[in-house]
Amino acid sequence: MVKKREIGDKSEKKKSRWGWIFGAILVVLLATAVASSRSINKISLFNHQHNQACNCADSRKYTGIVEDCCCDYETVDSLNDEVLNPLLQELVTIPFFRYFKVKLWCDCPFWPDDGMCRLRDCSVCECEENEFPEIFKKPGRISSQDLVCQEGKPQATVDRTLDRKAFRGWVEIDNPWTSDDETDNAEMTYVNLQLNPERYTGYTGPSARRIWDAIYTENCPRYPSGEFCKEKKVLYKLISGLHSSISIHIAADYLLDEAANVWGQNFQLMYDRVLQYPDRVRNLYFTYLFVLRAVTKAADYLEQAEYITGNPTEDLKTKSLMKQLLYNPKLQAACPIPFDEAKLWQGQSGPELKQQIQKQFRNISALMDCVGCEKCRLWGKLQVLGLGTALKILFSVDGQDHVDQHLQLQRNEVIALGNLLNRLSESVKLVRQMGPSAEKIMEGQVFAHADHTSTWRRIWTSLSKLRWESDKQIM
């Protein structure tokens, strides 16, 4: 009987010790979880509130020559900060570059209509009849009860407000690199880009992924190193760089609180979509230099172009800004040829390869009609046209010295080219401004996770020690 009672007492003591141990562990775990959560939230809140004041201009994560280009990262950053970005930011606000002619309704040639946007003017209120010139007017109107798309996101709709100033048209010829019929004015409308900034619209999920999947898998497959020729590699990098730029602008102007309509910077989104993949950042720089090369190559043509909007003061300012951009001495001295297009399309297969890639890019252009968000479609069409215009300038003149004698650009192409260069310039700037903060936030979360894991290890070690001592005492 004594032995049974001793065994029972030992068992009760053992249960009591384990109950106390597990209770202590539970308290420690709860405290650790709360502390970790507060730490992460504090980091995110601090960066959200104070990032604007943080000067991260000295961050040099990317150095050396930009791959396949003739300029290094340090020079690009310096020129962009000192010269290009300030000029471009001012240029795109000028009336000439403010209005873009575009087809905004859905007419997807690749898959059946999925109900995302069935109507030509869905969810957009048209301007009053007397608000814009006769030549801008469209036949027919859409009733308000039919405005039923954009996935229920009001921020995805386009503001079509125009001023009263008309501007003279240029030549209207189709771009061989893009799919839209630019001569079909009855099917197009003018949009004020300043009233429709590129930012978050709520367009996510399968519909958005299907667009990019089609672009990459059908037209621009990912390549293992050295597998494809350099021309196809250039096409991939251009699309990747454009994709990165779009993601950066979404993250930089994000709807943080839909109920309170609070907009700001989403550092985690920028890290998740761009910064954690160095190739995507490199491709952004490549695309920027590629488009910059197209602009500088067409300098003679762009200098002599008619930037007429009916506002003489603004038109003179446009010409002045264009000259400053095209003939900037710092740019000419530091990076005279950002990209060397003469290295492409060499050999007997060159012309055939150019036609093949031109067809692929036209397919990418046509895919913009499948985008189920009106504002995304607007900026997708504009930037793809801008990229198609850069391809047209670099590869449709056969490398002649006097490009202005052979090149013909329509007004819409110049508008798209200027706005695309500004978008890429802004993305490069945002990478330097937001990048360090975004990476610190992610490092903080990783540290908090590692600290949490370390706490678990310490608890488990203590638990094992207590169990050993408890068993030893009971024994």
- Please report, as a single letter, which amino acid is at residue 36: S
> Is residue 199 marked as binding?
yes
Give the total residue count for the chain. Answer: 475
Q: Would you call 376 a catalytic residue per the annotation? A: yes
- C-alpha closest to that of 239 among 218, 266, 225, 265: 218
> Is residue 120 marked as binding?
no
Task: Give the whole-angstrom CA distance, residue 328 versus residue 73.
Answer: 19
* Residue 279 DSSP SS3: helix
* Residue 131 DSSP SS3: helix
> Is residue 243 marked as binding?
yes
Contact (Cβ atoms closer than 8 angstroms) between residue 121 and residue 145 = no
CA distance to 74, 85, 340, 380, per residue, from 335 (Å):
11, 15, 11, 29
For every residue of 21-56, DSSP letters joined together read: HHHHHHHHHHHHHHHHHHHHHHHHHHHHHHGGG---
> Is residue 32 marked as binding?
no
> Is residue 183 marked as binding?
no
- Please report, as a single letter, which amino acid is at residue 9: D
Compute how many other C-beta atoms are within 10 angstroms of the C-beta atom of residue 67.
12
Contact (Cβ atoms closer than 8 angstroms) between residue 287 and residue 424 = yes
> Is residue 212 marked as binding?
yes
Contacts 24+ apart (CB under 8 A), 225-229: 229/353
- Please report, as a single letter, which amino acid is at residue 170: W
Tell me 272's DSSP state.
I
- C-alpha closest to that of 104 among 172, 157, 142: 157
Catalytic residues: 373, 376
Binding-site positions for FAD: 199, 201, 212, 240, 243, 273
Binding-site positions: 199, 201, 212, 240, 243, 273
